[in-house]
Amino acid sequence: MSWIDVADLNDIPLPGARVVKTHFGDIGLFRTGEAQVFATSNACTQDGGPLSEGIVHGTRVACPIDNSVFDLETGALLGTGEGHLQTYPVRLDGTRVLLERESVLARGAA
């Protein structure tokens, strides 16, 4: 797998999130621990709310618009309702945050 460097760990608040822009929409980078980052599609499956603006708690995030809670690791919507966020492989190299190249670039090229 080849990786693409997108951020420094210290640029992401703890606990909190930042956004990576891609050809197919925003990806949220969620920092849930000193050296733990998840990447998922940034739009809430229920109302499109920007999840990177939600409150990150444990390894979950609550949508800032409708409070839908997602498990950042699996992308699953918790509680009632159906929905699944796209998740993306993340790797940490020291304090650098890397996303898997194919998964974040491929669709834009197509």
Partner 1 sequence: MGKKKLVVVGAGMASGRALEHLFEAEPGEWDVTLFNGEPRGNYNRIMLSPVLSGEKTYEDIVIHDDAWYAEHDVTCRFGEKVVAIDRDAKTVTGEKGDVAYDKLLIATGSNPFIIPMPGHDLDGVIAYRDLEDTNRMIDEAAKPGAKAVVIGGGLLGLEAAAGLQLRGMDVTVVHLMGHLMERQLDEAAGYLLRKELVGRGINVLVSTNSKQILGEDGKVRALELENGTELPCDLLVMAVGIRPNTALATEAGLACGRGIHVDDAMVTSDPNILSVGECIEHNGAIFGLVAPLYDQAKVVAQTLIGEEAAFAQKELSTKLKVTGCNLFSAGDFAEGEGREDIVFRDPARGQYKRLVIEDNKVIGAVLYGDTADGNWFFGLIKDGTDISEMRETLIFGPAYQGGAAVDPLSAVAALPDDAEICGCNGVCKGTIVKAIGDGATDIPALRATTKASASCGTCTGLVEQLLEVTLGDSYAAPTAQPMCGCCDHTHEDVRRLIKAKGLKSQAAVWQELGWKTVNGCPTCRPAVNYYLLADWPLEYQDDPQSRFVNERRHANIQKDGTFSVVPRMWGGMTTPDELRAIADAADKYNVPTVHVTGGQRIDLLGVKGEDLPNIWADLNAAGMVSGHAYSKGLRTVKTCVGKDHCRFGTQDSTGLGIKLEKKLWGSWTPHKVKLAVSGCPRNCAEATCKDIGVVCVDSGYQIGVAGAAGMDVKETERLADVATEEEAIELATAFMQLYRENAQYLDRPYKWVAKVGLDWVKERVVDDLEERKRLNEAFELSQSVYRKDPWAEHTDKPEEFAPVADLTQIAAE
Name the residues that contact partner 1, by CB under 8 A: 4, 6-7, 11-16, 18-23, 26, 29, 32-36, 38, 47-50, 53-59, 62, 64-65, 67, 69, 73-74, 101, 104-106, 108-109
Between CA 104 and CA 108 the distance in angstroms is 8
Tokens of 78: 């918790």
Tell the smallest beta-carbon distance from residue 70 to partner 1 (Å): 12
Nearer to partner 1, 23 or 95 (CB): 23
CB 29 within 8 A of CB 39: yes
Residue closer to partner 1, measured from CB, 18 or 77: 18
Q: Which residue has the tokens 């499109």?
A: 48
Q: Closest approach of Cβ 83 to partner 1, in Å?
A: 17
Alpha-carbon span 63 to 108, nearest angstrom: 26
